[in-house]
Amino acid sequence: MLQKLHDKYLQWNYLRRSRSIQDYSFKGLTIKILPGVFSPQGTRTTELFSDYLLDLDWKDKRVLELGAGSGIISFLLANKGAKITASDISENAINGLKENRTNLQLDIEIIKSDLFNDLSGSFELVLINPPFFNKKPTNDQEIAWYCGENFEFFHTLFEQFSKRPFSEEMWMILSKRARIDEIVQIIKEKNLKTSEIVDLNMKKEPHVILKISDKS
């Protein structure tokens, strides 16, 4: 009961915050987040993912951040030398990414795309912080939060990923509030495999990173 109330509060807080322009600072970078775009403020997911990623070497690695939202992960990794492509379905997210790219003077490619639909070329790594609450989204704000009543987002994501003609790996962060076992089952159904599960031990908000291979 307490967990459900906490989840509802997080969702309400996200929707409240995303109605207006926000300034957000992390690891020495400050970005502007436009209305309707997922903000890292209010949850620990983006910052936990960033902390894990920034301990690695990114020099010249070809990386796609799928559903980049605010783009803070893309900008942090570009600052570490990665060759970044940031994509999102949201027009406001794309506009924000372009504005922040100019302000930060970081070289990243920005593409408007619904998942992989309008993306070409290959990447060494695909990064994603997906929606995972089970409810049908009804507007652009909710797309960043709800994955559909029956995990429709994950079915589409893994179906597209399984059909890409490249050797790629996907790293996906999930709160342990997500129904992870069911998401892993969808991965298997799409003939993909989870090569590693990294446990991020946070007492207040535990997370995992799923490392997904594109070929079984």
Per-residue pLDDT at 167: 85
Distance between CA 153 and CA 140 in Å, rounded? 14
Q: Where are the domains of the chain?
A: 2-213
What digits encode the pLDDT tens for the residues 107-122?
999 999 999 999 988 9
Collapse the DSSP code of 110 into the 3-class scheme (helix H, G, I; strand E, B; otherwise coil) and give the result: strand
3-state secondary structure 31-83: EEECCCCCCCCCCCHHHHHHHHHCCCCCCCCEEEEECCCCCHHHHHHHCCCCE
Per-residue pLDDT at 29: 97
CB hemisphere CA count around 180 (13 angstroms): 16
CATH architecture designation of domain 2-213: 3-Layer(aba) Sandwich (3.40)
Q: Which two tokens stand for residue 167?
A: 């050797």
Distance between CA 100 and CA 138 in Å, rounded? 27
What digits encode the pLDDT tens for the residues 3-41?
555 555 555 555 666 667 899 999 999 999 999 898 888
Distance between CA 23 and CA 4 in Å, rounded? 29
**Which pTM does this prediction carry?**
0.91
- C-alpha Rg value of the chain to the nearest Å: 16
